[in-house]
A = this chain, B = another copy of it.
Amino acid sequence: MTQQPLVDFWFEFASTYSYPAAARIGRLAQARGVALRWRPFLLGPVFKQNGWTTSPFNLYPVKGRYMWRDLERICGALDLPFAEPPQFPQNTILPARVALIAFDEGWGETFTNAIYRAQFGDKKNIGDQETVASVIRALGRDADDVMGRAQADDNKLRLRQQTDEAIAHGIFGAPSFVTADGELFWGNDRLDDALDWARAR
C-alpha cells in the first residue's frame, strides 16, 4: 500500500500572492492525487526577524508597485476578481484564528477563499470583525459562536505554535509549500512544482 502524497500549504491572509495560490491549489492537488494540509500562519513574526515592521512591498515601493501590477495580471489570467485594497498589509490575526477552526470543521477552504476575495477582490478590510463575521454568516455559520471559539486562549496559542513551526521549516514568505520529505517551495509560481515533487516521491 502506498501512502497518498502530502503537501503542507502555508499561507498568510495578508499575502497577496497567496490569493491566487489558495484559489488554484485545491483543484490542482486533487488532479494529481495529492493530499493538502492548509496551514494558516502569521508573517509578522517572520518579518520582525528581518527587522521589517511592515510588508517589504511597502518598504520598497518600486517593488510594491510592480507587485500590484503583477498580481492584477495573474488574477486576470485566472478570472479572479482583483482590486488593490486601500489598507495594506491588513491585520490578519482574526481571520487566521477563524481559519484554524474552519479547517477542523471542513469549511476552511471555502472560508479562506472568501476572505482573500473580500480583501483583494472587494477591497474590504479583513481586520474588521464585522467583515469576518459576514463572511462566516454567508457560509451559513453562527459568526458569534465561531469567533468566540477562534478567540479562545487555546486557539490563540495554536496559531502562535503554527507560526513557530513555519519558521522552524525555514519559511520566510507566503505562500510556501512543504512536501512530506521536507522540500520547501516558495511562491505562487512554485505551486505546480511542489505538487509534482510530492507526487514523484
Q: Which residues of B sit under 8 angstroms from A190, Cβ to Cβ?
A: 70
Question: What is the minimal beta-carbon distance from A76 to any residue of chain B, in angstroms?
Answer: 11
A172-201 vs B, CB cutoff 8 Å, 1 = contact: the mask equals 110000000000111101100100000000
A63, CB-defined interface residue at 8 Å: yes
- B63, B66, B73, B184: which contacts A66 (Cβ < 8 A)? B184
> Do A170 and B60 touch across chains, with their CB atoms under 8 A apart?
no
Cα A129 to Cα B170 in complex, Å, equals 37
| Residue on B nearest A185 in the bound complex, by CB | B70
With A170-B65, A172-B60 in contact, is A189–B189 under 8 Å at CB?
A: yes
Q: Which residues of B sit under 8 angstroms from A73, Cβ to Cβ?
A: 193
Q: Which residues of B sit under 8 angstroms from A3, Cβ to Cβ?
A: none
A160, CB-defined interface residue at 8 Å: no
A26-67 vs B, CB cutoff 8 Å, 1 = contact: the mask equals 000000000000000000000000100000000010110110
Cα A189 to Cα B63 in complex, Å, equals 16
Q: Which residues of B sit under 8 angstroms from A66, Cβ to Cβ?
A: 170, 172, 184, 186
Cα A62 to Cα B49 in complex, Å, equals 10
| Residue on B nearest A186 in the bound complex, by CB | B66
A69, CB-defined interface residue at 8 Å: yes
Cα A65 to Cα B189 in complex, Å, equals 18
Cα A128 to Cα B62 in complex, Å, equals 33
Q: Which residues of B sit under 8 angstroms from A170, Cβ to Cβ?
A: 62, 65-66
Can you spell out 10 A-B residue pairs with CB atoms less than 8 angstroms apart? Answer: A60-B172, A62-B170, A63-B172, A65-B170, A66-B170, A66-B172, A66-B184, A69-B184, A70-B185, A73-B193
